[in-house]
Amino acid sequence: MKRLIALDMLRGYALVCIMLDHMPISALRWFTLANFSIFDAAELFVLLSGFLVGMVWLSVETKQGRRAAQWRFGRRAFEVWRALVFGGMLMALVSAGLLALEMDHTAIWHQYAIWVLENPIGFFGVLASMWLQPNLLDVLAVYVILLASVPFLVPLMLRYPVGFAAGSFVLWCFAPVLNAFVPNHRLGGLLFNPFGWQMLFFSGIAMGLFRKQVMPVLMQYRRLLTVLSTGMFLFGTAIIIGAKIGEPALAFRDALRLIYGGEIGKWDLDGTRYMAIMGASWLVAVPLAGIMERMAASRLGVALQQIGRGGLFSFLACVLLSVLGDAFQMNPLDQGILRRMAVDVWAMVALWWVSALWLTYGAPWQMSVRFRRETKA
377 residues of the chain, pLDDT tens digit each: 556 899 999 999 999 999 999 999 999 998 899 999 999 999 999 999 999 999 999 999 999 999 999 999 999 999 999 999 999 999 999 999 999 999 999 888 889 999 999 999 999 999 999 999 998 999 999 999 999 999 999 999 999 999 999 999 999 999 999 999 998 888 888 999 999 999 999 999 999 999 999 999 999 999 999 999 999 999 999 999 888 888 887 788 778 887 887 778 899 999 999 999 999 999 999 999 999 999 999 999 999 999 999 989 999 999 999 999 999 999 988 889 999 999 999 999 999 999 999 998 876 656 555 555 555 55
Please enumerate, as own/partner, the contacts of 175-179 that have beta carbons within 8 Å and a separation of 24 or more. Answer: 175/268, 175/269, 176/268, 179/268
Contacts of 212 (CB under 8 A, 6+ apart): none
DSSP per residue, 74-122: HHHHHHHHHHHHHHHHHHHHHHHHHHHTT----SS-THHHHHHHH-HHH
Question: Using only C-alpha atoms, what is the Rg of the chain?
Answer: 21
| 7-36 burial code (b ≥16 CB/10 A, e <16) | bbbbbbbbbbbbbbbbbeebbbbeebbbee
What does the CA dihedral 174, 180, 184, 186 come to, rounded to 10 degrees? 110
Query: Helix crossing, 66-100 with 111-118: angle to 10°?
Result: 100
Cα 91 from Cα 117, distance rounded (Å): 12
Q: Is 261 exposed, middle or buried (0-12, 13-18, 19+ CB in 10 A)?
A: exposed
Q: In angstroms, how far is CA 279 from the centroid of its own chain?
A: 18
Cα 39 from Cα 17, distance rounded (Å): 12
Query: Helix crossing, 66-100 with 311-330: angle to 10°?
Result: 20
